[in-house]
Amino acid sequence: MDSKNRKFDILDAASRIVAEKGIFSLTLEAVAKEAGISKGGLLYHYQSKEELVEKMVEHLAVTYQSKIAAKAEADFEEKGKWSRAYLDVTFKQPYRKTDMHAGLLAAKAINPLLLNPIHEVYAEWQHEIENDGLDPIQATIIRLATDGIWLADLFGINPIDQGSKDLIYETLRRWTKE
């Protein structure tokens, strides 16, 4: 297995631990065991728990950033394309390992500065959304509603059934074309 895949497997193992057992169960020993490697093998790739969590957040930020940028670039309708891209990627193209989002929770608990990569991409997205040809407030409401559903799903506190979520998505998508 190449180094890049091994690193992803380690990030995935760390995310599963946070998602299934909680932030306080995230130890280097637990991650090594979950990833099926020695602690020394883990330390070869990530020298500390803080670095591991930082890379979890970076991986999530880079992945989402590239998906949203590609979706916006492929949209031939200029007005609202960033808002649509953000909405579509969040609703329709979730990260293949949804518990990778657990890295955000771990970062907040361990060291909030580890959230900087996600802060940076959110600032870029917000700038693009506000300059998307839509009313900037309406575009921001679309982003915030999208974030709200995503976060409610992340925390498992979303009482909205899938049919209602689909209707909300369609309504928000329609707003990106007004």
Look at 95 and 80; give whichever has higher pLDDT.
80
d(CA 55, CA 71): 24
pLDDT score for 1: 57
Residue 13 has pLDDT above 60, yes or no: yes
State the CB neighbour count (10 A cutoff) for residue 33.
Answer: 15
Rounded to an integer, the average pLDDT of 56-78 is 91
| DSSP secondary structure string for all residues of the chain | --HHHHHHHHHHHHHHHHHHH-GGG--HHHHHHHHTS-HHHHHHH-SSHHHHHHHHHHHHHHHHHHHHHHHHHH----TTHHHHHHHHHHHHS--SSGGGGHHHHHHHHH-GGGGHHHHHHHHHHHHHHHTSSS-HHHHHHHHHHHHHHHHHHHHT-----HHHHHHHHHHHHHHTT-
Select the more confidently predicted residue: 170 or 12. Answer: 170
In this predicted structure, the answer to whether residue 99 has a pLDDT above a threshold of 70 is: no
pLDDT in the model for residue 93 = 67
d(CA 68, CA 82): 8
Select the more confidently predicted residue: 108 or 116: 116
pLDDT of 4 strictly over 80: no
pLDDT of 2: 65
> Does residue 143 register a pLDDT over 70?
yes
* pLDDT level of residue 94 (50, 70, 90 thresholds): low
Q: Where are the domains of the chain?
A: 50-175
CA 173 to CA 167: how far, in whole Å?
Answer: 10
